[in-house]
Each structure stands twice: as C-alpha cells, then as structure tokens.
Amino acid sequence: MTVKLAVVMDPIQSINFKKDTTLAMLNAAQKKGWQLFYIEQDGLYLEDGKAMAIMQDLSVEMNPQNFFTLGPESRQSLADVDVILMRKDPPFDLEYIYCSYILEQAEEGGTLVVNKAASAQRL
C-alpha cells in the first residue's frame, strides 16, 4: 500500500531550495515510494462538515533549477490521504486559525496531522 502524504505549505515556488527542510522531508518520502500532494493554506475548506482541499500531485527533485513538478488541481477529501504535514509558516492570523480547525476535522476523520498548528499555540 502506498502512503499518501499531503503537505500544506507556503507557495513552493518561493521556498529556498538550499535551506528548506520541507523539501528535504518530501524528497525522503518520495524515495520511499510515497505519493505526494501539495496544498496551499487557502486551498483548505469544509464541505458538508468534511475537511476538503484543492490539491495537486507533487514530485520533487534535488535540482535547484527544477526542484518540483505539480499536477493539475483537484478537489479531494482530506480523508483520502494518510498523512498531512502542516508546514505553513505562521502568522497566527484568522486564516491560520481557520486552517487549524479544518486540519482538526481531518484528524477526526482518521488522517494523521503532523506539526499541527494547535501544538504550536500551546507553547
């Protein structure tokens, strides 16, 4: 069974290739044969009480000139992925809080959420 890993992050085209730990984690997951999906924070939403996202298939390479490839956008339930990495840099604004509520809903549906916003808020 292939693990489906979604990542919620800042726009991937703006990350620093040399320093970005999210890219390193995605590369390691891809090497294990995991299927990757890319989500931007504003792509998360609720539909009839279900956590949903506008996501894209993602592949990564350790090539600074061409380090990612995105597939077409699709609307999918977050219950369809096994793991979600929350890698969006805060500010703790309303959009970030809304995002954390949606990810909590995904967690209630059985998806593992890693680096969740609620954990950072308790510090």
Domains (range + CATH), the chain: 4-121 (3.40.50.20)
Confidence at residue 22, expressed as pLDDT on a 0 to 100 scale: 92
The answer to whether 85 and 7 are in contact (CB under 8 A) is yes
Residue 122: per-residue pLDDT: 40
Rounded Cα gap, residues 115 and 7, in angstroms: 11
- Whether residue 18 contacts residue 54, with contact meaning beta carbons closer than 8 Å, is answered with no
What's residue 81's pLDDT?
A: 97
pLDDT tens digit sequence for 57-108 = 999 999 989 999 999 999 999 999 999 999 987 677 888 889 999 999 999 9
10 pLDDT above the threshold of 80:
yes
pLDDT in tens, 20-39: 899 999 999 999 999 999 99
